[in-house]
Amino acid sequence: PHKSFTLQVLCRYRHIWNIDLRFRPAFLGGIMQQTGNKPPAMLPKRGEYMLKDMKRMAKYYQVPVHMSPDDFQRIMGTSSLTAMRFLTAMDMTNPQYLEPLSREFWMRFWSQHEDISQPENILAVARQAGLSAELSQKTLEMISSPTVKDRLKEATAEAVKHGAFGMPAVVAHYDGKPHLFFGSDRLELLGSIIGEKWLGPVPS
């Protein structure tokens, strides 16, 4: 869910800070595998802490995320690969839909606890994000193509190259070099690096 907080807050800041915000779909499972990382909730005490922390963060960031221990287990067992391939295909054909689609996927996954690996749910997400039935269907048919699979693999490898070991990973290209920030609580630090003022999670 930290990805959801980061996504929402960066979208709130895109017209306040002098930034060109670009979404790059990458596969979390691939990043974890390539870096030898493991989900934090695999450590029971950390899982307990994360559940409590999520409630606090949802309130602070004003993002409607609701989690219970059961949700945690179910979410851990759901792959985001199909959804990420759908986003990748959309990025390649109609990138203007990437932001509304990303927001809608995270809301469905973390707030409404839908299985976003199912084609019918992906089509419902696309409809909610404003896509036509024809475009949604066409994009869904692209996800098994080698071109889309390779593009997602490349983006995932690029994230790892920049130092990502999990999500959310934000790469700020500033002063001629990339700066990686991991986690939703690093946005204040990101602001200080790029010379912008942090105005809290909900800047007016």
* Overall average pLDDT of the 150-177 stretch: 96
Mean pLDDT of the chain: 91
The answer to whether residues 199 and 16 touch, using CB atoms and an 8 Å cutoff, is yes
Please indicate whether residue 3 or residue 163 has the higher confidence score (pLDDT). 163
Question: Which residues 6+ apart lie within 8 Å of 193 measured at CB?
Answer: 172, 174, 179
Q: Residue 34: is its pLDDT beyond 90?
A: yes
The pLDDT, as a whole number, for residue 131 is 96
Q: Residue 161: is its pLDDT beyond 70?
A: yes
Q: Residue 108: is its pLDDT beyond 90?
A: no
| Number of neighbours of residue 19 by Cβ within 10 angstroms | 17
Question: Which residues 6+ apart lie within 8 Å of 197 measured at CB?
Answer: 191
Q: Distance (Å, rounded) from C-alpha 196 to C-alpha 192?
A: 6
Q: Residue 176: is its pLDDT beyond 80?
A: yes
Question: Which residues 6+ apart lie within 8 Å of 5 measured at CB?
Answer: 57, 61, 63, 65, 168, 184, 201
Exposure string of 72-100, with b = 16+ CB inside 10 Å and e = fewer, is beebeebebbbbbbbbbbbbeeeeebbbe
The answer to whether residues 135 and 71 touch, using CB atoms and an 8 Å cutoff, is no
* Overall average pLDDT of the 26-43 stretch: 91
pLDDT tens sequence across 112-132:
778 888 999 999 999 999 999
- Show the domains of the chain with their CATH numbers: 1-194 (3.40.30.10)
Q: Which residue's structure tokens are 């709130």?
A: 12
The pLDDT, as a whole number, for residue 75 is 72
Name the pTM for this structure: 0.90
* Overall average pLDDT of the 47-74 stretch: 85
Number of residues that this document lists for the chain:
204
Minimum mean pLDDT among 14-28, 63-77, 101-115, 179-193: which range?
63-77
The pLDDT, as a whole number, for residue 69 is 76
The pLDDT, as a whole number, for residue 162 is 97
Q: Residue 92: is its pLDDT beyond 80?
A: yes
Q: How confident is the model at residue 1 (pLDDT cuts 50, 70, 90)?
A: low
Distances (CA, A) of 199 to 14, 114, 179, 190: 13, 33, 21, 12
The token pair at 195 is 């010379």
